[in-house]
Amino acid sequence: MPTLGQPHSTAATALITGAADGIGWATAQCLAQRGWRVALLDLRTEAAQARAAELGPQHLGLGCDVSDAGSVQVAVAAAQTALGRIDALVNNAGIGEQAAPTLTQTAEGFDRVLAVHLRGSFLMTQAVLGFMREQPRDARGNRGAIVNIGSIASFGGIPGRNAYSAAKAGVLGMTRALACEWAREGIRVNAVAPGYVRTALVAALAERGDVDARAVAERTPLGRMAEPEEIAEAIAFLASPAASYVTGATLSADGGWSVLG
């Protein structure tokens, strides 16, 4: 197996943010099982390192606050040095937003949600593009792939969750703009838009009464929430050469939620 410090390893490499838990962790496992070397970035350094150790010595865990430009620069440079190249970036880190009437929401709370989802995806992308554009092209002319995470909130209204909806709609807009700008450089940019997924983020919303699991199951054509592994499969597809001609796309993985009239 390849080990860190072997920059000429032929294994594909990925950076995943928010990788200590939920969808990010499931994606790290999915890619690692397929032979990728993964840098797991998370706010909690120890948790990221423990997850990486769980996957094996060829993987890397790093502390990183995606909303902080300095933290992003340091983490991305460390990951690129260790992995040798960056084939894929998964901008997954996220926080929930407690539903609240607009008149009681604070500007600080609004800014924080946008800072993690939108600014974080922008900062990570900017940092990674600097390395990706220097990499050799593959047989189809591609150099790398970026996968952003939207949501059913990117399309539909969720009362009281203005910041989250704005951030997730913004992520899809940014995905399309980046896809157009970077296609000629061989860098594909796509998004996955999950429905409700059984993770800590949703458990916290359910605890506060913002999500009713039974109502979600009833509203979802497939009749249940997703497991994180099911979203990871969609992310892994867009990150991989199997999606070599896909850019600017949003893949809904929502059990049919968004097509139900």
- Contact footprint for ligand NDP (CB under 6 A): 17-18, 20-24, 42-44, 64-67, 92-95, 116, 120, 149, 151, 194, 196-197, 199-202
18 touches 93 (CB < 8 A): yes
Determine how β-strand 187-194 pairs with β-strand 88-91: unpaired
The reply to whether 245 belongs to the active site is no
Query: Nearest residue to ligand NDP, using CB?
Result: 22
Q: How far is the CB of 231 from ligand NDP (least distance, A)?
A: 7
91 touches 121 (CB < 8 A): yes
For ligand NDP, the closer of residues 84 and 94 by Cβ is 94
Of 36, 122, 131, 164, which one is the catalytic site residue? 164
For ligand NDP, the closer of residues 1 and 77 by Cβ is 77
For ligand NDP, the closer of residues 2 and 150 by Cβ is 150
Q: How far is the CB of 253 from ligand NDP (least distance, A)?
A: 9
Helix axes 45-55, 22-33, angle to 10 degrees: 30
For ligand NDP, the closer of residues 183 and 206 by Cβ is 206
The single residue listed with the structure tokens 């706010």 is 43
Q: How far is the CB of 2 from ligand NDP (least distance, A)?
A: 26
Q: How far is the CB of 1 from ligand NDP (least distance, A)?
A: 26
Beta bridge partners of 38: 14
Distance CA 154, CA 175 (A): 12
Q: Which residues contact 225 (CB under 8 A, 6 or more apart)?
A: 195, 196, 197, 198, 202, 213, 216, 217, 255
- The set of catalytic residues is 164
